[in-house]
Each structure stands twice: as structure tokens, then as C-alpha cells.
């Protein structure tokens, strides 16, 4: 279909999927789905020095987790296979020869040392670093002789002089570049692999890509790509360059900025729906003040016209807030399934009903599965040693609470809500008997059981711990007090 919308996400397998790559993939997905088109995954592995084993599998695994599925890819195949650039080398060599025959590409023998010297000289004269076209005027005979002799060489594009390359960007409008500012870009490297620029154009054409949606950092390269389309006699796709992602200090976000790996957010317990919702709003805005969207709703709402030109700040606090909202909508079983894999093995070996009760009790306000898992772990942590000394009334009060709790029927300890009320009744009764009331009752018991001044509601903690652990905590607190008195 000539007018079919076809977009692509084309990562290099040089590491993990980062949030900038996720946004690019998501916007391509949303645009394609909104237009009834197709989304392709193409692996651009031509930089052989930076390949990371397992990176492609990581991409596919993370996208499966997010629910973003590709219509054509190395995994599912498709009519434009192969979808891995290292498997398409013959096509790039043919394209290079086509350009050379038309006078749009030439052989360059310059060494790395010479190119470094050229750049140094240009920097010394405050000139932009560009190739000086040293090899562009070599005769056909000299080129043939040196190539036949096995001299290392690359192929460069022959950028024409005194022309303006006009680009209509769907986000930024009309952008013009003078060819005097465009370098004679290397197209084919000495190792026989193409550069990004050649492979990108050749593949986008043969894969019938209608829209190239990518990061703003690729805008300066776009005139080179438009020239290549012109050299080949091909119709270029439409371009849309997304705004930069920024740190809170408005510096450019990069792989060195900290938590930018999508996998890291999965490991922390961020929900895929929350992450997609959050990332969708990094540069795009809906037509109203609404902030929460399912993936299907994003498809319905998304347009490139509402993508901003200005950079978008990646606000970790907002992501946590958004994830908290999504978590609050999960039922208890979904919450347990998310938290359980993050809990330490010894905790999972305890009474399952009590650990589940802990997850349910502590879930309000949790920012992620990892956050909730940490709260559960802290709830079951051993009591800290107290520094406060008790008088006789406090010791007798704690002993009375322990006696009162030990007298409760065993079945009562499995009725968590009822147990909480029974615990309060025992504590209040013993407080009245020993002259304690209000805050003094609960602070004394909290310090006895946890050694901490703050924490979850004590009645719920008792339900989490169970009879034996609760009584042990109270008895150990009294033993510590007795030991301290003996030493004194």
C-alpha cells in the first residue's frame, strides 16, 4: 500500500534500553497505531566495536514487559527481512557503488593521524571540524592503483557546493541547511560495514518507512540523509525530531545521568503502565489537563502536532507519584505477585498469611513494589536496642501486656482485624492499671517491640509477627531492661 504509515525503532545493540530510547519507540508505536500503520524493529549493529552481547534480547524482553509489540522484527520476521543490518551488507555495498558511479561518493585514503591533524588545525583557527576533501580530487587511475594495492580506505559522500537542503520537520517546521556546513560523511568504513547514515537511508527506503520519528540529536544529520535520498532518486520519508530529555537541572539527560535504564525501573517495581504513561508525557501533551492514560487511550489521543519543541524534564518524583497512583488500583493479589519476588527468602519461609497481611497493611502510599518490599522487610526486622531506661511501672506494664496477649486463644491470632482490637484493649487495660495513658502506652510498646520511635500501626505489626514473635519481642525488651539494671 503506497500510503501506508510505517514507522520503525532502530536501536544499536550497544547496551541497555534507556528511557530516551523507550520514548522514541513509544512515540513510533503510538503514531503507527493511531494511523492504522505498522511498527518495525530494526537492529543497527554496524558499529562492531561497541556491540554488547545479549542487548537485542534485552530490548525484546523489556518491550514484551511493556506491552509494546512490533509488526516486523528479527523475532517475528516480515516482508522486508532481514531486520539486522549486519545481514544486509551486500545491499549497502551495491548502494555505495551506485553512488560512486553517479559521482556522489568517492574513495578516501586518509589515515586517522592525518584526520586528527586536520581537526587540530581547524580548531586552532576556530573553524568547525570537517573533512578537507583531500581525496576528493584523486584521479580514477590513482584510486584504482591504491585500492588494488590493498591500501585501507573508506567511501565518503560527495556533498555538492552552494546548495540549500530544505527539511520540513513535523515538529519543528521548516529547517534549512547550507551544504557548506555539511561534512563529506563517511558512508562505508574500511571494515566493509556501512556507517549509520548510509545504512539508515538504504534500509528506510527498502523497508518503505513513511515517517522517521527520532531524537533531536539526529536533526543535524538529516540534511546528509536528504541528500542521499536525492542522490538515489528516492522519495524521503517525513521527519519528526523529538525534544531532548533533560535532568531536573535542565542539563541533557544521558546514559551517565544515573537511572536511565528501563530495566532498572522494572527491577524497582515500577509498573509498565505507569512507566509508559509517564514517558508518553515527556514532550507530548494531551488536549486537556488529564494525566492518566492507558496504552490504548494514548493511541487514541496521540498526535505529533502536540509534541513540544522544548526539552522535557525527567522528574523522578513525578514518576514515583504516578506509580503510586497505579499501584493503588491493584487488587491485593496483584500487589502480592509484584512484591513477593522482591522479598528475602527467609521472610517468605515464614507464615505466608502473615507476610501477605503485611503487604496488604503496608501498601498505602507505596511508591513501587521495591518500596513496599523494603517496608515489609523493615516491619519484620529485629528490634533495635533501646537507650531508654524504664521505671518499675513501665516494666510491669510491658509484662502485663505480654501476659494479656499470651492468654488470648490461638485462633484469635489468625483474625488480624479482631486481634488488633484485642491488642488495643489489653494495652489500654494494662496502661490504666499501671498509670500509663495515651502516647506513653504506645511509645513504650513500640520501643519494646521495635526499638524505634516511628513505624506502622503497632496493632497491625502484632498481626504480622504472630503470637510467638510478639511475645518474644516483649520478653526480650524486659530482659534487656533487667540486664541494664543489673549492670547499673
Q: Which helix (H) or strand (E) holds 19?
A: helix 19-34
CB 229 within 8 A of CB 159: no
Rounded Cα distance, 119 and 132, in Å: 9
Provide the pLDDT for residue 480. Answer: 85
CB 223 within 8 A of CB 177: yes
The closest of 20, 22, 30 to 65, measured between CA atoms, is 22
Provide the pLDDT for residue 1. Answer: 46
Match 513510533 to its residue by C-alpha cell: 28
Among 3.40.50.360, 3.40.50.12780, 3.90.800.10, 3.90.1300.10, name the CATH number for the domain at 89-194.
3.90.800.10
Topology of the domain comprising 392-487? Arc Repressor Mutant, subunit A (1.10.10)
Provide the pLDDT for residue 244. Answer: 95
CB 154 within 8 A of CB 193: no
Q: Locate the domains of the chain by residue range.
A: 89-194, 332-379, 392-487
Q: What is the pLDDT tens value at each position of the chain, 488 positions in all?
A: 458 999 999 999 988 899 999 999 999 999 999 999 999 999 999 988 888 888 899 999 999 999 999 999 999 999 999 999 999 999 999 999 999 999 999 999 999 999 999 999 999 999 999 999 999 999 999 999 999 999 999 999 999 999 999 999 999 999 999 999 999 999 999 999 999 999 999 999 999 999 999 999 999 999 999 999 999 999 999 999 999 999 888 888 876 556 689 999 998 889 999 999 999 999 999 999 999 999 999 999 999 999 999 999 999 999 999 999 999 999 999 999 999 999 999 999 889 999 999 999 999 999 999 999 999 999 999 998 776 788 889 999 999 999 999 999 999 999 999 999 999 999 999 999 999 989 999 999 999 999 999 999 999 999 999 999 999 999 999 988 877 666 55
Give catalytic status of residue 375 as yes or no: no
- Helical residues (DSSP H) of 344-415, grouped into ranges: 345-348, 352-362, 369-379, 392-406
**Cα separations (Å) of 301 from 7, 238, 289, 296?**
18, 21, 13, 9
The closest of 48, 49, 43 to 12, measured between CA atoms, is 43
Provide the pLDDT for residue 41. Answer: 98
Out of 255, 309, 329, 437, the active site residue is 255
Provide the pLDDT for residue 77. Answer: 97
> DSSP labels for 145-199?
HHHHTT---EEEE-PPSS-EEEEEETTTEEEEEEGGGS---EEE-TTSPBPHHHH
Amino acid at each position: 500500500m503506497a500510503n501506508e504509515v510505517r514507522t520503525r525503532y532502530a536501536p544499536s545493540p550497544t547496551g541497555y534500553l534507556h528511557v530516551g530510547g523507550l520514548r522514541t519507540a513509544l512515540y513510533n508505536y503510538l503514531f503507527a497505531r493511531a494511523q492504522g500503520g505498522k511498527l518495525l524493529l530494526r537492529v543497527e549493529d554496524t558499529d562492531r566495536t561497541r556491540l554488547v552481547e545479549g542487548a537485542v534480547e534485552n530490548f525484546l524482553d523489556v518491550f514484551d514487559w511493556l506491552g509494546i509489540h512490533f509488526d516486523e522484527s528479527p523475532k517475528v520476521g516480515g516482508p522486508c527481512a532481514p531486520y539486522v543490518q549486519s545481514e544486509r551488507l551486500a545491499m549497502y555495498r551495491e548502494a555505495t557503488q551506485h553512488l560512486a558511479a553517479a559521482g556522489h561518493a568517492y574513495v578516501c585514503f586518509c589515515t586517522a593521524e592525518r584526520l586528527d591533524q586536520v581537526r587540530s588545525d581547524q580548531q586552532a583557527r576556530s573553524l568547525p571540524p570537517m573533512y578537507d576533501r583531500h581525496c576528493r580530487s584523486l584521479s580514477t587511475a590513482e584510486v584504482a592503483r591504491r585500492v588494488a594495492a590493498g591500501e585501507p580506505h573508506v567511501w565518503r559522500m560527495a556533498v555538492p557546493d552552494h546548495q540549500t537542503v530544505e527539511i520540513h520537520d513535523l515538529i519543528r517546521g521548516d529547517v534549512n541547511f547550507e551544504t557548506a556546513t555539511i561534512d563529506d560523511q563517511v558512508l562505508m568504513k574500511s571494515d566493509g560495514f556501512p556507517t549509520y547514515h548510509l545504512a539508515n537511508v538504504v534500509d528506510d527506503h527498502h523497508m518503505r518507512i513513511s515517517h522517521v520519528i527520532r531524537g533531536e540529536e539526529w536533526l543535524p544529520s538529516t540534511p546528509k540523509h536528504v541528500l542521499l535520498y536525492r542522490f538515489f532518486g528516492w522519495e524521503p520519508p517525513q521527519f519528526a525530531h523529538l525534544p531532548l530529555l533533560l535532568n531536573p537541572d535542565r542539563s541533557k539527560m544521558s546514559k551517565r545521568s544515573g537511572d536511565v535504564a528501563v530495566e532498572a525501573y522494572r527491577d524497582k517495581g515500577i509498573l509498565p503502565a505507569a512507566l509508559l504513561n509517564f514517558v508518553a508525557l515527556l514532550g507530548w501533551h494531551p488536549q486537556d489537563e488529564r494525566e492518566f492514560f492507558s496504552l490504548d487511550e494514548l493511541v487514541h489521543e496521540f498526535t505529533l502536532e502536540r509534541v513540544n519543541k522544548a526539552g522535557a524534564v525527567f522528574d523522578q518524583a513525578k514518576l514515583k507519584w504516578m506509580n503510586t497512583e497505579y499501584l493503588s488500583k491493584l487488587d491485593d493479589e496483584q500487589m502480592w505477585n509484584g512484591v513477593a519476588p522482591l522479598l528475602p527468602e527467609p521472610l517468605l519461609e515464614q507464615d505466608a498469611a502473615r507476610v501477605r497481611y503485611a503487604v496488604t497493611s503496608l501498601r498505602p502510599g507505596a511508591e513501587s513494589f521495591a518500596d513496599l518490599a523494603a517496608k515489609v522487610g523493615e516491619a519484620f526486622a529485629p528490634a533495635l536496642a533501646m537507650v531508654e531506661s524504664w521505671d518499675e511501672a513501665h516494666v510491669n506494664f510491658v509484662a502485663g501486656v505480654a501476659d494479656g496477649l499470651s492468654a488470648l486463644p490461638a485462633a484469635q491470632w489468625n483474625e488480624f482485624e479482631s486481634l488488633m482490637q484485642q491488642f488495643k484493649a489489653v494495652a489500654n487495660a494494662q496502661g490504666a492499671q499501671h498509670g500509663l495513658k495515651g502516647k506513653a502506652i504506645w511509645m513504650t510498646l513500640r520501643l519494646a517491640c521495635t526499638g524505634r520511635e516511628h513505624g506502622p500501626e503497632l496493632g497491625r505489626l502484632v498481626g504480622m509477627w504472630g503470637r510467638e514473635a510478639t511475645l518474644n519481642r516483649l520478653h526480650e525488651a524486659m530482659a534487656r531492661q533487667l540486664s541494664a539494671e543489673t549492670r547499673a
